[in-house]
Amino acid sequence: MRKDRVLIIGINGHVGHAAAQAFVDAGWSVTGFGRSNRQPIAGVDFVAGDADDVGALKGAIADADVVFNGLNLPYDKWFDGRAEAQLARVIEAMGSSGKTMLFPGNVYNYAASQELLTPDAPVRPERPRGEIRVRMEAMLKAAAARGAFQAIVVRAGDFFGPKSHNDWHDLLILREAGKGRVALAAHETPHSWAYLPDLGRAFVRLAERRGALAGYEAFHFAGHYVTAGQMFHAIQAVTPMKLKRVPTPWLMLSAVGLAMPLMRELVKMRYLWDNPMRLADPRLDAMLGPDFGTPFEEAVAATVEKFFEGEKAAA
């Protein structure tokens, strides 16, 4: 019997790579699409191609039942319509195929004052980046409404995981862990985190149940909602050396941002760290089941151990 096939567009990205591994583990046929195959996964058939080429995307999509759209521009390149244009090319390539597109979302759609974020919470983007995400999700909703394809959005918190690179966790929190310093918020406002292996498995679960879902669906992946103190203690528990918790260096990041657009854009999203914004979705929780997620301490341990392995290899 033919296995369902998923195409992972953006196979080299944080969530794309995690989703690919989760689909392989679940027994799907998996194709990865990207300019290069930087982190090969056993069981993934790789197709080289440029996501700016609609023809190449169409060819890759043709044999897939489900398309995971893990494309994401560099953080400072979203503007001037570029993020919407990137998504528009994938929508064009999907055509009126009736296939399913899985799309990772985030909390940018919401304002700092919205503490409890359920899928039916009113959309109130706090920054232009959030307005972009709202427009992109509206594009998917419109495509689903005209019957072109099914679109399933899963909004999640900040990513972390053992094979995730160039994210907040390794670029800032653990950046000086080898010197005994861990940079975390000075306050104890909880923050939403998504452990990538778990998020990948959540996408698999929804793909497996796509036949029972509507043409457009938005879910919230609760993940781990923890304080800086909880994060610090989980990191310290698996680190042999004594660590010191230092505040997130916002002033330094702002100064660096004068010359680096990427850093400037990161600083603009500080409100996400200074305000409690908790993702909740009883409907998705019920689909995933009570024992679905990796315990927080185990997830942090796997991430930190892999980080230090990378540090040793680079030394």
Q: Is the pLDDT of residue 79 over 60?
A: yes
Instruction: Give the span between the Cα atoms of 169 and 160, in whole angstroms.
Output: 6
pLDDT at 81: 96
Angle between helices 250-257 and 261-268 (to 10 degrees): 140
Mean pLDDT of 33-57: 96
With cut-offs at 50, 70 and 90, classify the pLDDT of residue 76.
confident
Strand arrangement, sheet containing 224-226: 158-160, 191-195, 224-226
pLDDT at 2: 66
Domain boundaries, given as residue ranges, for the chain: 5-161+192-224+276-288
Cβ atoms 92, 117 nearer than 8 A: no
> What tokens were used for 29?
């046929």
Q: Is a pLDDT exceeding 90 seen at residue 312?
A: no
**Mean pLDDT, the chain, integer:** 94
What is the pairing mode between strands 224-226 and 116-117? unpaired
CB 117 within 8 A of CB 279: yes
What's residue 5's pLDDT?
Answer: 98
pTM, two decimal places? 0.96
Q: Buried b vs exposed e over 13-46: b needs ≥16 C-beta within 10 Å?
A: bbbbbbbbbbbbebebbbbbbbeeeeeebeebeb
The identity of residue 217, as a single letter, is E
Q: In the prediction, which pLDDT does 306 show? A: 76
From 14-23, 47-56, 229-238, 305-314, the region with the lowest mean pLDDT: 305-314
Q: What is the per-residue pLDDT across 260-291, written as a single tens digit (0 to 9) for each?
A: 998 899 899 999 999 999 999 999 999 999 99
Superfamily for 5-161+192-224+276-288? NAD(P)-binding Rossmann-like Domain (3.40.50.720)
What DSSP state is assigned to residue 53?
Answer: -
Residue 210 per-residue DSSP state:
G
Q: Model confidence over 152-180: pLDDT tens digits?
A: 999 999 999 997 777 788 778 998 988 99
Range 115-119, long-range pairs (CB < 8 A, 24+ positions): 115/275, 115/276, 115/277, 115/278, 116/278, 116/280, 117/155, 117/220, 117/277, 117/278, 117/279, 117/280, 118/220, 118/280, 118/281, 119/155, 119/218, 119/219, 119/220, 119/281, 119/283
Handedness of CA 230, 231, 236, 237 (dihedral sign): positive
pLDDT 10s digits, 234-269: 999 999 899 999 999 999 999 999 999 988 998 999
pLDDT value of residue 252: 93
At 183, the pLDDT band (50, 70, 90 cuts) reads very high
